[in-house]
Amino acid sequence: MSLPVRITALLVAFVAVAAGVAFIVVHFILGSPPTVTFNASGGVTNVVLQEDPQNNSPSLPQWVSYYVQDPKTGHWVHTTLFSVPAHSTVHMTILGYDGCTPLRNNFWSQIQGTIGGTATVSIVNSKGAATPTRRVSVIDSWAGCTIAHTFAIPSLHVFVPIASPNANDSANNLCGVSPCTSGPHSVMTFSFKVPTSGTFRWQCFVPCGGGYLDGNGGPMQTIGYMTGNMEVRA
Amino acid sequence: MATPEAPAAGAQADRNHGLRIFLIWLPLAAIADLLIWFAWKPHIPPGTMTSSAEHQQFDIAFMALLCAPVLLFVWTYSAYALVNWHYRAGDEEDGPPIHGNAKIQATWIGATAVIVLGLFVFGTVELIVPAGAGAGEGPAPIWKPNVSHMLEVQVIGQQWAFTYRYPQFGGMESTQLVLPANTTVAFNVTSIDVIHSFWAYQLGVKADANPGVNNIAYTTTKDQLGTFIVRCNELCGLWHGAMFNNGHIVSAPAFATWARSVQLKEARNGILRALPPYSTTYDPTVIPQLGSSLVKIVGITGSPGYYYPPQDPVTP
């Protein structure tokens, strides 16, 4: 092999390795889901999320996942990062498309840290009919097939169980394409105050990482799926 | 050539050196120990919020009290040697040959033996007297506080939060750790998933939270009211670093008011009935309200049908 060929081969190999390292760094280490920005209107920030039994990522479509609705476009964004203005009241609406799983600690069935210590819940069936909206302070995950996930911001003492759709209905008609736009689901609303600026992690307390240790691995420990950050902007 | 009187003169010179070193070291050591005890000790962590914290503060101060004179002796001796026994121009003579010194050897062995045995006795006493020194003693503690009444608090670790159950208040559970002043507390520490560690630093309490194990730690709160931090001290997953919250020591009446109000609220909203009966440990695969045999039936717990999927080889 001639010298120019050897040098060229060496350079090509070097560039390939460098490109691989750069891809790993950019894509996996520095890569992060997008952040959806919400603004307040009259001191109230409306945030809309949905939780699905699957997701539309190319690599791990079988993982359960939250989605955040972009307030500007109305499109669902596959992320768990969002920002809200400081000192506002966050009015949260969560659409629960996933089926039920009992809580490991049923204490999280209690709604805590919301204004009034309550949330409202309505169940929409596969035909689109909704039950009357109820105001609840507990959704007992052990009393029946009632909870899919939770939305919790521990440092703000906000803990809200997210109701699941009717078990029989969801067993046959569960949404199968994310982001979900149809299928049986719950609609939950609640409000809480954001006290100051900072980053507040939020998570789910249902062990819904199927196939992982104690059900708490995989999507439960991956930002962009069942846990994320709420950025409070000053 | 040395004269017959030289050894006696050398011994006298050694004694003079020794006396000078001692006289330099003694006031330095006395000042250091006084500063440690009266100026530094009140600020040594973890403080004095509880009996175990106070004992730990005392232990650290006492050890510093012992160490400072030793450290100062080494420094004094080194400085004295540098000043008096350094090389001087024109001095090409070797030092005198030294072959053993029974007195120094006996002093060395005796002093170190006394120090080691003394520390052994001191450490043992300081472990036993404060009933385990705030450390987890496992499910069958050897050293229990000798008191007629104790507040029982169960600490439940889970990814990624601690919750606290109060069995003497109907088994109510809270995300807040509130303790009354001047009260002996028994922490029953457990976990319902992976290994965590309950570390209430200012209380001088630290106990591993293992699933299926009741790890008991004792302490007695003092009359110092205030806030303390609870942290997880065992790497437990993505949000381990965020697994902390604040606890509070309040007056006994304020604690009773708080505990009863939480108990009443949880009785009213139904969460007390929804919790499992109080137990020192919990099996997360068993839902008492459903019965253990029902939990793993396909379908009852929704998609994918199992509380713990069967393909998970680690879960029970």
Enumerate the residues of chain A whose CB falls inside 8 A of the CB of residue B266. Answer: 110
Query: Is B314 a residue whose pLDDT tops 70?
Result: no
Q: Which of A98, A105, A221 sits opposite B303 (nearest CB)?
A: A98
Most A CBs within 10 A among B175, B178, B306, hence the mutation to make, goes to: B175
Query: Minimal CA–CA distance to A199: which of A82, A68, A113?
Result: A82
Between chains, do A145 and B302 touch, taking CB under 8 Å as contact?
Answer: yes
Amino acid in position A147:
I
Contact A137 B163 (CB under 8 A): no
Above 60 in pLDDT, residue B302?
A: no
More confident residue, A220 or B173: B173
**So what's the pLDDT on residue B11?**
66
Same domain, A67 and A11: no
The mean per-residue pLDDT over the stretch B9-19 comes to 76
pLDDT given at position A48: 97
Nearest to A167 among B156, B163, B302 (CB): B302
Q: Which residue of B has its CA nearest to A217?
A: B237
3-state class (DSSP) for residue A98? coil
Alpha helices per DSSP H over chain A: 3-24, 167-173
Mean pLDDT of successive 10-residue stretches along chain A, which has 234 residues: 91 94 77 91 95 89 93 95 95 92 89 96 91 94 85 95 84 85 93 92 86 77 93 93
- State the residue for tokens 């498309």: A97
pLDDT digits (tens, 9 = 90+) for B97-138: 888 889 989 999 999 999 899 999 999 999 988 888 888 999
A100 and A179 fall within a common domain: yes
Containing structural domain, residue A20: 1-31
Clarify whether residues A39 and A27 are in a common domain.
Answer: no
**The token pair that represents B61 in the structure block:** 């101060």
Cross-chain residue pair B274–A138, CB shorter than 8 Å: yes
Contacts of B176 in chain A (CB under 8 A): 157
Angle in degrees, CA B142, B147, B149, rounded to 5: 115
Interface of A with B in 24-43 (CB under 8 A): none
CA distance B136 to B134: 7
Span B254-264, average pLDDT: 97
Number of domains in chain A: 2
The answer, for A138 touching chain B at a CB cutoff of 8 Å, is yes
The mean predicted confidence, pLDDT, of chain B is 87
Name residues whose C-beta falls within 8 Å of residue B52's C-beta, 6 or more positions apart in sequence: B130, B131, B132, B133, B134, B203, B204, B205, B218, B219, B220
Q: Which residues pair with A83 in a beta bridge?
A: A37, A231
Q: Based on the domain organization, do A12 and A119 belong to the same domain?
A: no
Q: State whether residue A105 sits within 8 Å of chain B by CB.
A: yes
User: Is the domain of A11 the same as that of A62?
Assistant: no
Model ipTM value = 0.85
Name the minimum distance, in Å, from the CA of B149 to any CA of chain A: 27
The answer to whether B287 contacts A102, with C-beta atoms less than 8 Å apart, is: yes
CB atoms B175 and A211 under 8 Å: no
A90 and A181 in a common domain? yes
pLDDT of res. B267 = 96
Q: Is A214 on the interface with B (CB under 8 A)?
A: yes
Task: Tell whether A214 and A111 lie within a shared domain.
Answer: yes
Identify which has the larger pLDDT, B271 or B316: B271
Burial A92-112 (b: 16+ CB within 10 A, else e): bebbbbbbbbbbbbbbbbbbb
Cβ–Cβ below 8 Å for B301 and A102? yes
CA count, 13 A, side-chain hemisphere, B90: 0
Inter-chain touch B242–A174, beta carbons under 8 Å:
no
Residue B304, pLDDT > 90, answer: no
Shared-domain flag, residues A21 and A60: no
**Which residue of chain A comes nearest to B288, CA vs CA?**
A142
Taking the Cβ of residue A201 and every Cβ of chain B, the question of whether any pair is shorter than 8 Å is answered with yes
Same domain, A186 and A229: yes
| Secondary structure (H, E, C), chain B | CCCCCHHHHHHHHHHHHHHHHHHHHHHHHHHHHHHHHHHHHHHCCCCCCEHHHHHHHHHHHHHHHHHHHHHHHHHHHHHHHHHHCCCCCCCCCCCCCCCCCHHHHHHHHHHHHHHHHHHHHHHHHHHHCCCCCCECCCCCCCCCCCCCCCEEEEEEEECCEEEEEEHHHCCEEECCEEEECCCEEEEEEEECCCCEEEEEHHHCEEEEECECCCEEEEEEECCCCEEEEEEECCCCCCCHHHCEEEEEEECHHHHHHHHHHHHHHHHHHCHHHHCCCCCCCCCCCCCCCCCHHHHCCCCCCCCCCCCCCCCCCCCC
Task: With a cut of 50, say whether residue B307 has pLDDT above it.
Answer: no
Nearest to B312 among A212, A220, A221 (CB): A212
Mean pLDDT of B58-83: 95
User: Smallest Cβ distance to A53: which of B300, B303, B307?
Assistant: B303
CATH number at residue A185: 2.60.40.420
Q: Are residues A9 and A86 in the same domain?
A: no
Q: Supply the pLDDT for residue B10.
A: 64
Of the residues A51, A52, A107, A118, the best mutation for testing chain B's interface (the one with the most B CB atoms within 10 Å of its CB) is A107
Whether A5 and A72 share a structural domain: no
Which among B193, B237, B307 has the least Cβ separation from residue A102?
B307
**Model confidence, pTM:** 0.84
pLDDT of B46 over the 90 cut: yes
Of A105, A143, A171, the CB nearest to B163: A105
Calpha distance A79→A225 (Å, rounded) = 7
Asked if residue A53 and residue A20 are part of one domain, the reply reads no
- Chain B residues with CB under 8 Å of A215 CB are 307-309, 312, 315
Q: Which of A127-131, A196-200, B27-31, B297-301 has the highest mean pLDDT?
A: B27-31
State how far the alpha carbon of B123 is from the alpha carbons of A5, A39, B224, in Å. 72, 59, 26
